[in-house]
Amino acid sequence: MKRTIILSLALAGLVGAGCTASAEGPKTMEPVAANPNPTPGCPTALDFKVKNIDGKDVNLCDYKGKVVLIVNVASKCGYTPQYKGLEELNKKYHDQGLRILGFPANDFGSQEPGSDTEIKTFCTTSYNVTFDMFSKITVKGAGKHPLYQFLTAGGGDAALAGEVKWNFQKYLVNKDGKLIQVFKSGDEPMGPAVTAAVESALK
């Protein structure tokens, strides 16, 4: 009997330890990789400097006040035909304030092996792309670009945090420069989910 009581107390101690650990609450979110030297008046989601497909410096703060759709693109992917939908989306909503930013990345299946010049030629000749394209970057792993460090951290919203899963994942930033929605690779640019979110953000 004495032995049974001791064993019961020991088990109670283990359960108590588990409850104590749970009582710490949810894990804190990893810090958002924002610009360490923020630009006054620039939304955090746009406070990054990048190079466009022609190698020229671009401050994403130039898109302040616009609805921005950021997409990691690739030329040899099953989703590559989405370039057509992205261009249609661009033409339909550009005058209302939508800006689409394409960031080539070779992080998934080595499906973007070309140079910036080759990527630009492919996009313009195969899909007549006119929306803004940028120099190839890394969107996952140790060399992840600061912009994508911010986006994959959810832009401060834990519900939107998560690594890029594949090419043509889409991040929607509203007019206030806040990340508001993330779309999977399979979400078509002209599909109802994306267009409804874009239209809502443009209002």
CB 48 within 8 A of CB 150: yes
DSSP assignment of 75-136, as one string?
Answer: SSSTTTTHHHHHHHHHHHHGGGTEEEEEEEB--STT---S-HHHHHHHHHHHH---SEEB--
Chain-centre distance for alpha carbon 197? 15
Element (H, E) at 101: strand 98-104
Distance CA 171, CA 67 (A): 11
Residue in 19, 42, 77, 123 annotated catalytic: 77
77 catalytic? Reply is yes
3-state secondary structure of 203: coil
Rounded to an integer, what distance in angstroms lies between the CA atom of residue 138 and that of residue 14?
45
The catalytic residue positions are 77
